[in-house]
Structure 1
Amino acid sequence: MTSLRGLLVTASAVLLSPLAYADFTASPSEAEAIAKEAYLYGFPVVEMYKTLYAQAVKADGPDYKAPFNKVGNTARVFTPKDTAFVTPNSDTPYSFVWLDLRSEPQILTMPAIEKNRYYSAQMIDLYTHNFDYLGTRTTGNEGGDFLVAGPGWKGSTPAGIAKTLKSEGDIVYVLIRTQLFDEKDLANVKKIQQGYAVQPLSSYLKKSAPAAAPDINWPQPQAGMSETPALFRYLDFVLGFAQPVASEKALFERFSKIGVGPGEKFDEGKLSADQLAALQRGIDAGKAEFAEFKKTKIDTHQVESGDFFGTREHLKNNYLYRYVGANVGIFGNSSAEASYIGYFTDAKGSPVNAAQKTYTLHFNKGELPPAQAFWSLTMYDGKTKLLVDNPINRYLINSRMLDQLQMDPDGGLTLYVQHESPGKNKESNWLPAPNGPFYSVLRIYMPTAKFSEGQWKLPMLFPAAK
């Protein structure tokens, strides 16, 4: 017979058991399926949070740019030492702005610049949607003052404001790109960057400021947070600043069964080993789906970068596509602003590896990438997804370098993509690769109709044995 004391001990153990976690009601098989879905949904959000923390919160960190509602300028192009986000471009020095719109809108000022220079302000919400743009393509190079408001603002656009931009969430990432022509042009870019500015609406109107929003206790990122069930804890936190839309109601009813969603407080520390294992299986299934999609659709160029980046309306709540964008090149531009073509495989369909082969990329005469602004081909390490350190400090070849490149006798252009130098007579056309797996990205800024209508044929990377 069980003693009264034994019953009390048993009851206490049940109350303290991870199985008693009230926010986790799914069975193991159900939890696995939900976790896969929630992982694909939440990965971009959590990856964005990692960038937010590094650039706007951790003031003593190497990737810190500026506090909220201030502009942080990087008056240089990216190098292998920059690690805040993967697959960065190195054509356009960046300016970074993290807007906190909880108490009131913010006014973003774009300076007027010369007509032949490209610049853009990419407006990104916490889901990684590009919800709007300012700059050359959309508002021109004349500059102006622009109002950025969160979902709760009900005011009218003041006089002097060129455009009002509304975000789904209370935090917005503004990623500003300013075209750099060459190293001698850096002083001009710095001057333009000094013209980017942010101020509260109350300051712009010369009125008293509203009550300040409460301070935020930002959770410090941890190793593996995007690859384990810990992701769901960070996702719950970020969703507090960007409530899901009506079209996601049913989605979050499912997510709530594992403690994920706005108002939820997922805690992996309260789960049993079986529950954690089910969630991890779901995450791994999501990764496997991406790997298969990349192999069959991305590497074969059956889908374009423009499918993965854009507004919510453009993406149509396709969470796999949003995940792909965040995984292969987070904060990529919408297709009208720039198109990205990834070279992950060669012309024979094999993964590219500069430790095993050398490669050439040939453009026929008159068939250079069709860009209204400019184009570039940038090299990345296949393992780190970062720029590649090399002896000539060249991370890309772009259209501004054409007068320095050696053209073929027939007027075409051949680029040499390999680890070792192709020789002094060809080094002007050399894009250095790591001694191992790599990928390169062809960016076409403001692509012409020739590209968007499919009239331009993409050249392939042709391999040769070393």
Structure 2
Amino acid sequence: MLYSRNILSIGLGAALAMCSTFLAPKNALAEELSAAEASAIAEEATIYGLPMLMNYSVLYQYAVDKTSSQYKAPFNQIHNEAELASPDDTAIVTPNSDTVYSFVWMDLRAEPVVLCVPKIEDTRYYSIQLLSLYTYIYGYIGSRATGNDAGCYAIAGPSWNGETPKGVKTVIKSGTEFSFAIYRTQVFGQSDLEQVKAVQAKYSVQTLSEHNNTAPPAKAPAVDWLKFDPVTAKENPFNYLAFILQFAPAIGSAEVEIPLRERFAKIGIEPGKPFPSVELSSDVKAAIASGIESGAKKAKGKKSSVGNLVNGWQISEGLFGSRTMLQDNYLMRAAAAMVGLYGNDSKEAFYPLTKVDANGVELDGSKHNYTLTFPADGYPPVNAFWSVTMYDGDSQLLIKNPINRYLVNSPMLSEELQKNSDGSLTLFIQNEEPKSAKGKANWLPAPDGPIYMVMRLYWPKNEALDGSWQPPGIEIQQ
């Protein structure tokens, strides 16, 4: 899972928990609005907007702010990460460190963007996840979805209605005018990085006119990007939502949002206009602040309750996906963002998560050493590969450790890890290095404090999705 830094942990939590400062009134007086209605609308807008604000923070850092330490590349240009994720990567929480990433933020306003991939060996898993500004997953390219053969795919904006271009396998339509493509390419350990770089070098991104070698259409207007910073977001979170909505027209499948946006407009949230776009009384302002706080609490509560608890692991099939799959459940979308933005559809990757042991007690590396044992017949069932990754329980970031090991995955079974005599595998989860040879070989270093762990099953088999396979619980070492 690739996760945006949780807004609630970088200052926007306060933005969603309070809103005491509003911009000066701009337009006509708001229609008569009770405090109760204003609060309800603000709660709804908070829940609706949370993942979009988190997504915008990544867009701004990755593609707009060239001074950001997380800047990647301009729009419509690919950026390849040549190394696996490490504790130095802080813009994204809960990063996976068993694939390398490539990123493209696409501007689809003037014309489609064409993504071309090379022939990739069948044993190497890769995927390209396509996300709208809503954070909906609207398509995939890759091993599971399209196979490992070479091909080109056109990504089009919501208003584009052209024919499938020559040399393009298919057109995939985004619901918003800007879109994010996340490439994940499997790495078989550090020694494999040079081969992976060769694969990444063959990924290409072109506008449709560049791909067809034709005259380009008129350029889309320049965007006066709204600077993202936690202080501004804290003072005026709905200003960001209004800004983002101008690039997310309520057309096509988004037509269902027309009544929703009409309600938002009652409190001054209108696409492309500074918030509030209408005059608000002091009572309504107070009610809006209350609604924002209530919405944030509901999102947090949903995050902690999604899915089922199985042997201490939180399993939430259907947490990430398309608008159709999520059925416009904005509270679920917000909870998914807080669990981790940019998580894959369950068919692409399946994510058991935990902060507790098999008995439901919170994991803490300062208090206990733990083990996780996969029975010989109970390894995670996958078509590609699986991994178990360790994070700091508070920040959800990778942790520094003396052996620079942030995860254990199935490719390590053949060389690095030591199985038990019965074919099972025991991982040693602890802060200090184990003393035994097997413990050292199978050590998954833990923080000196709260622990958060994510199991990833890439291209999972049906038994993972239907519940017939269950992840084993984490036990305190005896």
**TM-score normalised according to structure 2 size:** 0.89
Deviations for 1:179-217, whole angstroms, at most 9, x for unmatched residues? 010111111111111111111111222211111111111
2:4 matched residue in structure 1:
none
Q: Is residue 267–residue 278 contact of structure 2 (8 Å, CA) maintained in 1? A: no
Q: CA deviation at 1:28?
A: 2.8
Between the aligned partners of 1:378 and 1:303, the Cα distance in structure 2 is 15
Q: CA deviation at 1:279?
A: 2.8
1:184 matched residue in structure 2:
191
2:15 matched residue in structure 1:
none
Q: CA deviation at 1:291?
A: 3.4
1:253 matched residue in structure 2:
262
Indicate the SS of the match to 1:409.
coil
Q: 1:32 to 1:225 in 2, by over 3 A?
A: farther
- The more displaced of 264-273 and 182-191 is 264-273
2:296 matched residue in structure 1:
287
- The more displaced of 262-271 and 54-63 is 262-271
Between the aligned partners of 1:269 and 1:321, the Cα distance in structure 2 is 30
Q: Is residue 24–residue 256 contact of structure 1 (8 Å, CA) maintained in 2? A: no
1:207 matched residue in structure 2:
214
- Unaligned runs of 5+ residues in structure 1 are 1-15
Q: Is residue 268–residue 278 contact of structure 2 (8 Å, CA) maintained in 1? A: no
1:415 matched residue in structure 2:
427
Between the aligned partners of 1:51 and 1:290, the Cα distance in structure 2 is 20
Between the aligned partners of 1:69 and 1:24, the Cα distance in structure 2 is 42
2:450 matched residue in structure 1:
437
Q: 1:358 to 1:172 in 2, by over 3 A?
A: same
Q: Which amino acid aligns with 1:266?
A: F
Between the aligned partners of 1:44 and 1:73, the Cα distance in structure 2 is 25
Between the aligned partners of 2:191 and 2:144, the Cα distance in structure 1 is 25
Deviations for 1:144-172, whole angstroms, at most 9, x for unmatched residues? 11111111112101221111111111111
Between the aligned partners of 2:426 and 2:244, the Cα distance in structure 1 is 46
1:406 matched residue in structure 2:
418
- How many percent of aligned residue pairs carry the same amino acid? 44
Indicate the SS of the match to 1:300.
strand
Q: Which amino acid aligns with 1:157?
A: T
2:364 matched residue in structure 1:
353
Structure with higher RCO (Cα < 8 A, 6+ apart): 2
Q: CA deviation at 1:251?
A: 1.7
- Count of residue correspondences: 449
Query: Counterparts of 1:125-204 in structure 2 under 5 Å?
Result: 125-204=132-211
Q: CA deviation at 1:120?
A: 0.8
Deviations for 1:7-43, whole angstroms, at most 9, x for unmatched residues? xxxxxxxxx9869973585433322222221111101
Q: Is residue 355–residue 436 contact of structure 1 (8 Å, CA) maintained in 2? A: yes
> Is residue 49 of structure 1 aligned with residue 50 of structure 2?
no
Between the aligned partners of 1:269 and 1:396, the Cα distance in structure 2 is 51
Q: Which amino acid aligns with 1:439?
A: Y
1:98 matched residue in structure 2:
105
Q: 1:281 to 1:430 in 2, by over 3 A?
A: farther
Indicate the SS of the match to 1:370.
coil
Question: Which of residues 321, 328, 333 is equivalent to 2:339?
Answer: 328
1:378 matched residue in structure 2:
389
Question: Which of residues 355, 371, 376 is equivalent to 1:365?
Answer: 376
Q: Which amino acid aligns with 1:242?
A: A
1:3 matched residue in structure 2:
none
Q: Which amino acid aligns with 1:312?
A: R
> Is residue 39 of structure 1 aligned with residue 56 of structure 2?
no
- Unaligned runs of 5+ residues in structure 2 are 1-22
Deviations for 1:69-103, whole angstroms, at most 9, x for unmatched residues? 00001011111111122111111110000110111
> Is residue 74 of structure 1 aligned with residue 81 of structure 2?
yes
Between the aligned partners of 2:168 and 2:147, the Cα distance in structure 1 is 15
1:7 matched residue in structure 2:
none
Q: Is residue 268–residue 277 contact of structure 2 (8 Å, CA) maintained in 1? A: no
Q: Is residue 300–residue 335 contact of structure 2 (8 Å, CA) maintained in 1? A: no
Between the aligned partners of 1:420 and 1:437, the Cα distance in structure 2 is 14
Between the aligned partners of 1:368 and 1:34, the Cα distance in structure 2 is 47
1:109 matched residue in structure 2:
116
